Structure 1
Amino acid sequence: MLRLLFSIFLFTVVFLFYGYFRELNPGTITIRTSPTVSLELSPVTLVLLSMAVGVLIVTVIVGIRETTHLIGAWRSTRLQRRHEKVTALHQEGMQAFLSRRLGDAKVIFQKALAIDSHRIETLLWLGNLYRAEHNFVEAIRLHQTAHRVEPRNIEVLLELATDLEGAKRYEDALQALQDILRIDSDHLTALIRKRDLLIRLEKWSEALEIQHRLVKANLPAADAQAASDLLVGCMYEVGRQFLERGHPEKARRYFRGAIKKDRRFLPAYIGLGEILLHEGKIKNAVEILEKVYAKTKSIIILHRLEELHLELGEPAEIIRVYQTAIQRDPQNPVLQFYLGKLYYRLEMVDDAYDLLSALEGPHDQLADYHKIMANLHLRKHHMEEAVLELKKALGFRKRVVVPYRCLHCQAESREWSGRCRACGQWNSFVALPWLGSPAQASDQEASQPAPRPTYQGVASPFETV
């Protein structure tokens, strides 16, 4: 009732004001709306009509704004509820994953993606779940979707590179890592993983370039030493590839560079010897290896010298080298064993028998020793002793002992190579380490860096008898 009275009062006041001002402003104003249509309005009517139109326009504008605001608030509330639901599903999926309920986790993540197919976190987790099941196709698809949503997301690119590597699509994995380096050229993880992939693909020159950058990075002391060791190995491999491709001068430069950084790196010394052999300078190769042995006392160098001297037709020289080494280290059973083995190889039966029969050492671990002694007894017609030695050799439950063992992973090999095929470490092979000092072998093993990808390189062209 009050509103009705107020409305009547307001209408009355407006009517009185309108009449009053119309009397004060007599006359009319012609308003043309078209060439043929016109309106006759009093000045007061025109003013009031203009005010009414203005109020109407303001009302429409305010109405549109409020309506837009209401629609936006509704959409925001809807998106917020959807986000909360997806977040709840994502967290539930994570809990299922961490609880090792992988099947449940997969279903929950898929529900989350059905609501929001562009949620990066869910795409990453579900992709990682598929990768854990070795379903690399689905993992790659999901992580590629995440990459399309956020092309500069480094975490997504790292996971995608892992998927591609697992699927053995190494070139594509390299491209993903390169995309990371375009975004952040100093990204340490991407550099390390790219280097490891290049090593796997034996692209040694590119791996060496990255390793130079890693060595210059501000790494902790332990990692810096491992990086320096790996740099030496990459330099050696680049030199080895140049030598195989017929570029001895380039190979020599890299071998010398490896030696300059690590004077104990035997593969590079042997590589220099191989260059001299490639150039037909066998005597020069022998001289270098004899100098290296004088510095390193490495049995592996003696093995190489043995092959070279025999190629030159100078068995007396290698015998002299072995005898000199034994004179300097008379308590070394490894030297005595290999000299006896050389005598046996050269058909010097009496010398081999005298030396090996007097050899003191853990014969119960060395099947090769008993096999050689059995043959020597046969040559001397000591049948009972030969049978006894053969029984000892055949009685081993372990594999026949081989001449080289990696100090890092304990892999055994009858052929020497600059890098262990099993663990990828350079300069890690030793000859019969169980006959040497256990403490020394432990120290060498402790000093080795972390393992690298498996190596499929070319072995040295010599092996023991």
Structure 2
Amino acid sequence: MRLINVLFIVLIAFVLMSVGYVYMGNTAVLGQNIKLWTDVSVRVSSLLVGAFLLGFVLNLLYTGIMEFTRFVKGINASAATRAGKRLSSLLTEARDLLSHGLPGHARQVLESVLRERGDHVAASLLMAEALVKLGDYDAAVKHLEGCAQAHPEAIEFQYLLADALIAARNPEAAAVLLKRVAGDNPKVALRALRKLRTLHMDAGRWEEALDVHKRLMSRFAKEVNSPERAQGTALQYQVGLTKVEADLYKEAAQIFQQILKEDTTFVPAYLSLGRCMILQDQEVQGLEIWQEGFRTTGEGALLQEVEDYFIQSGKPEEGLAVLRRIAATSEFATTAKFFLGKMLYRLEILDEALVLFQEVRAQVVYSPILFFFMAKIHSRRGRMEQALNEYRQLLRNLGILRQRFECSVCGQKTPDYVDRCEACGSWNSSHFMFKENELPELHLRPETGPWVGMI
């Protein structure tokens, strides 16, 4: 027998002995009557026993009620657990159906869940996804509007509603919604601001997009990486172009100057700023801007702009003088000499152009157009052997004499046959790029990439 049991028995015996001792010592007192009210009296011993029994019955009744309550709660909890497991299983099934490209079947499963639990957030989100994948955008919008109203604290419904509105070709309503989301939730509005900026960009509302970008930068500077931060420069540039289209050249020029102050490598700003200056009859300043841009970036597009401007203006001699000066002084001499040679070629000053092209040839590894110009010059001078040599070098640069194989699934080109495409992972999809007039069009081979079976 355990020690605790022995102690309990001893305690009970002690209590009984104590009660017996008290009873035996107070027999006379316990035998007396106590008057409760008129004509009603009771013995002291009976009163004590009655009080004990009453307390015992009340305690037993209370305990029974509590145990019954716990039993009922246990049954309800068990039922809720079973229902929760069943709903969880249905949601898992719906997710699997969506991931396998069966939104219609997923919709049926989710409808059964929502009939039982109309306020189920996860089921509502999945239902919206299923409706969008089915292309039923109006139904998705209506569904998400109801969910957003029923769950104002769940911001995910707002974002999905914006996506559904865009899919339903109502970007204006989506923009209004995202503005409200960003205003109501300023501390967690990063996603809303990004979506809103994209909407404005897609619609060509560059000033609005730039304003949103500035708000995003001011609130979430730590979350914005370098490429996204640089997007502000591009938006500024687009705003400048809208000023150019409105013939507001002075305002546009100020914007382009600000861009170059912040980023001296932004070539489109040099090109547009130079054009703005020329359109304001400031030719010298415009040409200097293009030249400064080339000195800073080495980008040939700026010299192409100089070349085109002088030829279109009917002042080729001035253009040649400018390009000669640049070629003689620039850090990017190879590029400058090539564009000088190209302008000489356009002006039929072939021998001087050939000399420059030969200088450039020693510095470049790949430039098909260079060998084309040299071949044309030799051909015009009757030097057919030299011309053929340059054409051969041109073909080698282009690599068109190599065999080519192409993946019929993704279009990836390879110099050799491969049994499996490295780009898309499809087997038996490589074919030789060769067509005969008598053969029908090549049919695409079935896709065998790793994602097949997941859709």
User: Residue 203 of structure 1 aligns to which amino acid in structure 2?
Assistant: R
CA distance in 2, matches of 1:246, 1:101: 54
CA distance in 1, matches of 2:112, 2:338: 70
Show the counterpart of 1:417: none
User: Residue 375 of structure 1 aligns to which amino acid in structure 2?
Assistant: K
Q: In terms of mean alpha carbon deviation, does 332-341 or 80-89 score higher? A: 80-89
Show the counterpart of 1:298: 299
- Answering whether residue 185 of structure 2 is matched by residue 184 of structure 1, we say yes
CA distance in 2, matches of 1:360, 1:135: 60
Show the counterpart of 2:355: 354
Candidates 180, 201, 204, aligned match of 1:202: 204
CA distance in 2, matches of 1:199, 1:390: 45
Show the counterpart of 1:214: 216
Q: 2:334–2:363: 8 Å Cα contact kept in structure 1?
A: no
User: Residue 200 of structure 1 aligns to which amino acid in structure 2?
Assistant: D
Q: 2:298–2:332: 8 Å Cα contact kept in structure 1?
A: no
TM-score by length of 2: 0.62
CA distance in 2, matches of 1:182, 1:191: 10
Q: 1:90–1:122: 8 Å Cα contact kept in structure 2?
A: no
Residue by residue, what CA displacement relative to the aligned partner does 1:329-370 show, whole Å, maximum 9, x if unpaired? 688543332222121111111112222234335877433223
Show the counterpart of 2:235: 234
Q: In terms of mean alpha carbon deviation, does 99-108 or 369-378 score higher? A: 99-108
| Structure 1 residues 107 and 79: alpha-carbon distance in aligned structure 2, compared to 1, 3 A threshold | farther
Residue by residue, what CA displacement relative to the aligned partner does 1:244-276 show, whole Å, maximum 9, x if unpaired? 112222222322222232233232232221212
CA distance in 2, matches of 1:286, 1:114: 72
Show the counterpart of 1:88: 86
Structure 2 counterpart SS, 1:336: helix
CA distance in 2, matches of 1:252, 1:358: 38
Structure 2 counterpart SS, 1:195: helix
Structure 2 counterpart SS, 1:220: helix
Show the counterpart of 2:278: 277
Q: 1:208–1:235: 8 Å Cα contact kept in structure 2?
A: yes
CA distance in 2, matches of 1:80, 1:170: 47
User: Residue 253 of structure 1 aligns to which amino acid in structure 2?
Assistant: Q
**Deviation (angstroms), 1:374:** 2.6
| Structure 1 residues 312 and 124: alpha-carbon distance in aligned structure 2, compared to 1, 3 A threshold | same
- Answering whether residue 98 of structure 2 is matched by residue 97 of structure 1, we say no
The structure whose RCO (Cα within 8 Å, separation 6+) is larger is 1
Q: 2:162–2:178: 8 Å Cα contact kept in structure 1?
A: yes
Q: What aligned pairs does 1:69-218 form with structure 2 within 5 A after superposition?
A: 85=83, 88-94=86-92, 97=95, 100-101=99-100, 103=102, 105-132=106-133, 136-151=137-152, 153-186=154-187, 187-218=189-220
Gaps of 5+ in 2: 1-36, 40-68, 402-455
CA distance in 2, matches of 1:320, 1:182: 58
CA distance in 2, matches of 1:231, 1:297: 23
Aligned residues: CA RMSD: 3.8
Q: 1:90–1:109: 8 Å Cα contact kept in structure 2?
A: no
Q: 2:209–2:235: 8 Å Cα contact kept in structure 1?
A: yes
- Answering whether residue 357 of structure 2 is matched by residue 344 of structure 1, we say no
CA distance in 2, matches of 1:277, 1:124: 56
Show the counterpart of 1:260: 261
User: Residue 301 of structure 2 aligns to which amino acid in structure 1?
Assistant: I
| Structure 1 residues 372 and 102: alpha-carbon distance in aligned structure 2, compared to 1, 3 A threshold | closer
% of aligned pairs identical? Answer: 21
CA distance in 1, matches of 2:91, 2:77: 21
**Deviation (angstroms), 1:192:** 1.3
Residue by residue, what CA displacement relative to the aligned partner does 1:50-96 show, whole Å, maximum 9, x if unpaired? xxxxxxxxxxxxxxxxxxxx9xxx9xx98995796366324532365
Aligned residues: 331
| Structure 1 residues 297 and 365: alpha-carbon distance in aligned structure 2, compared to 1, 3 A threshold | closer
User: Residue 209 of structure 1 aligns to which amino acid in structure 2?
Assistant: D
**Deviation (angstroms), 1:239:** 1.3
Show the counterpart of 1:323: 324
CA distance in 1, matches of 2:119, 2:292: 66
Show the counterpart of 1:385: 386
CA distance in 1, matches of 2:123, 2:154: 14
CA distance in 2, matches of 1:216, 1:284: 35
| Structure 1 residues 292 and 385: alpha-carbon distance in aligned structure 2, compared to 1, 3 A threshold | closer
CA distance in 2, matches of 1:364, 1:376: 20
Q: 1:211–1:227: 8 Å Cα contact kept in structure 2?
A: no
